[in-house]
């Protein structure tokens, strides 16, 4: 595997950063997870725009144009023959001191990894996920806004630990007001009748690119799509629940906190959106040359 590191493609074993990089020391940096399908990188421009927005929010100046970053992603995919896979794009603050001062870090590091990922086994797409609500609340927007896709994922990791310790692969995270925010790595939706509902971004969620794509596809099906505050009651009594994310795509949830959702299988609308999303993602995107 070849890793893109600061303008060069180098063998995996030679891809190294300093122990004084603030991305390592403090989680100071931003990233994007991106998918490629059929030789095309899906929603590449949108992912790069979000990367630069996240960087701007933490006062991190990326030393590359957006066009240059797009070219670097495609170049890395081509070098690794990653026609169907997962791309991790990382920008760290760079090498600094043991102190917090980010302005002592003079040169941000740009890292691109193009590989494979399988977040959930196929069986769970067919049968659905069982998830649990956890006690770890989502970061407050006033503290670390979840719309910033930063390298500091400890909030999500703590929630993931709770889920795994409860025998589940994923968790529902609430915000400080007790409203539903999102899962540890995915956005959450409910279906009630002809309505598809997801929490708005001001409830403390990452504005997922897959989330937004699925909302568009649902509208094309004639479904009533809205962003509304949700409680656990809304999850428990929904006809269907599903998660969306770059790695997860669309996956149904059939049990939350030991309460069966619907008939206990991924619902018809979930399955319809799952199929349509894969068709859409496989037929659009930036060509890998």
Answer for the pair 41, 165: CB distance below 8 angstroms, yes or no. no
How many angstroms separate the Cα of 15 from the Cα of each of 48, 71, 145, 257?
Answer: 22, 20, 31, 42
- Give strand pairing partners of 289: none
* Cα pseudo-dihedral 273, 205, 180, 26, rounded to 10: 130
Answer for the pair 274, 191: CB distance below 8 angstroms, yes or no. no
Answer for the pair 184, 173: CB distance below 8 angstroms, yes or no. yes
Q: Decide if 149 is catalytic.
A: yes
Answer for the pair 119, 247: CB distance below 8 angstroms, yes or no. yes
Catalytic residue among 2, 130, 149, 160: 149
From CA 8, how far away is CA 4, in angstroms rounded?
5
Answer for the pair 28, 58: CB distance below 8 angstroms, yes or no. yes
Catalytic residues: 149
């Amino acid at each position: 595997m070849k890793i893109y590191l600061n303008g060069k493609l180098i063998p995996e074993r030679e891809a190294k950063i300093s122990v004084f990089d603030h991305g390592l020391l403090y989680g100071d940096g931003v990233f994007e997870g991106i998918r490629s399908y059929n030789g095309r990188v899906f929603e590449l421009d949108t992912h790069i725009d979000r990367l630069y927005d996240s960087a701007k929010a933490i006062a991190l100046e990326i030393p590359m144009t957006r066009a240059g970053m797009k070219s670097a992603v495609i170049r890395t995919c081509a070098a690794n023959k990653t026609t169907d896979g997962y791309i991790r794009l990382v920008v760290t603050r760079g090498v600094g001191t043991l102190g917090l001062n980010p302005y002592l870090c003079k040169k941000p590091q740009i890292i691109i990894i193009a590989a494979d990922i399988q977040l959930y086994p196929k069986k769970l797409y067919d049968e659905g996920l069982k998830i649990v609500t956890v006690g770890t609340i989502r970061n407050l927007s006033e503290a670390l806004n979840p719309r910033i896709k930063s390298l500091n994922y400890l909030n999500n990791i703590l929630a993931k630990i709770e889920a795994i310790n409860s025998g589940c692969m994923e968790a529902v995270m609430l915000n400080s007001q007790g409203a539903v925010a999102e899962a540890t790595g995915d956005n959450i939706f409910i279906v009630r009748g002809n309505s598809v509902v997801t929490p708005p971004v001001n409830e403390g969620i990452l504005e997922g690119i897959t989330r937004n794509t699925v909302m568009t596809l649902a509208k094309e099906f004639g479904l009533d799509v809205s962003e509304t505050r949700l409680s656990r009651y809304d999850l428990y009594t929904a006809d269907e629940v599903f998660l969306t994310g770059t790695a997860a795509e669309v996956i149904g949830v059939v049990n939350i906190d030991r309460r069966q959702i619907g008939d206990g299988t991924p619902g018809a609308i979930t399955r319809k959106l799952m199929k349509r999303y894969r068709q859409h993602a496989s037929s659009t995107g930036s060509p890998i040359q």
